[in-house]
Amino acid sequence: MNLSDARVLVVIPTYDERENIPIALERLREHAPTVDVLVVDDGSPDGTGELAEKIAADEAAAPDPTRSLAVLHRSGKLGLGTAYVAGFGWALARDYDVVVEMDADGSHRAQDLPRLLAAVADADLVLGSRWVPGGSVVNWPLHRRLLSVGGNTYTRIVLGIPLRDATGGFRAYRADLLRSLPLAEVASQGYCFQVDMAWRAVRAGARVVEVPITFVEREIGRSKMSRAIVAEALLNVTGWGMRERSRRLAGAFGLSRRAAAR
């Protein structure tokens, strides 16, 4: 892929991020000025969507705008996974070449985005990874580090995927990969959505690479992380792993029976 000609869309889901969204958009304009942005707002009570609309209108009215900024309004808090799927559909309908997932709260640094985009030249999915050499986290307490490292280790073992940070939400997809995946079947949320998408990509034979990023804990607002999100990820990953092992055993048993019958 010739990145100089590629159309890139950054999808940013929001819910009550009024204080953070102007900062996130400005940092993107500073570090990746030519990428387009779609804010997917889940009916934020604090007016995040309306503020994003105002910023978009101001940018469109400026002389020679360098990017397109759009806002997709949804009826309520419908979840991170469905927000990204809606953003993917919006991007594919408009023939973007690369689609990026990025948080609004500053935890995903805009200055790391060019590194992800450079890597997508030779990959179908690029994961911004906290847990590969060169990756790091800032301002995380020990229990959050242990939860993330432990969750990724468990995911790697149970699903058999060679990824150090399958739960991370800063990533870049080639549009062709997204078109090949059954997005309508993806109903998981939170960490689980990220694992689901990465696992589907690996199973589809996609080229998945990880590049180091620095993850920074949000300074404004409250984290959306909850016990329910962690529980969903644990239960789903366990279930997927069990079904995958059953499928492989059934396949191996079938091969053995056919060999014995010859």
Distance CA 128, CA 209 (A): 9
125-151 pLDDT, tens digit each? 999 999 999 999 999 999 999 999 999
Query: Where are the chain's structural domains?
Result: 8-261
Residue 226 has pLDDT above 70, yes or no: no
Instruction: Decide: 187 and 81 in contact? Cβ < 8 Å.
Output: yes
Among 177-181, 193-197, 229-233, the range scoring the smallest mean pLDDT is 229-233
pLDDT in tens, 159-193: 999 999 999 999 999 999 999 999 988 878 777 89
So what's the pLDDT on residue 255?
Answer: 53
For 73, how many CA atoms within 13 A lie in the half-sphere containing its CB? 11
Interior angle at CA 183, CA 119 and CA 20, nearest 5: 65
Q: How many beta carbons lie within 10 A of that of residue 33, not counting itself?
A: 10
User: Which CATH number describes the domain made up of 8-261?
Assistant: 3.90.550.10
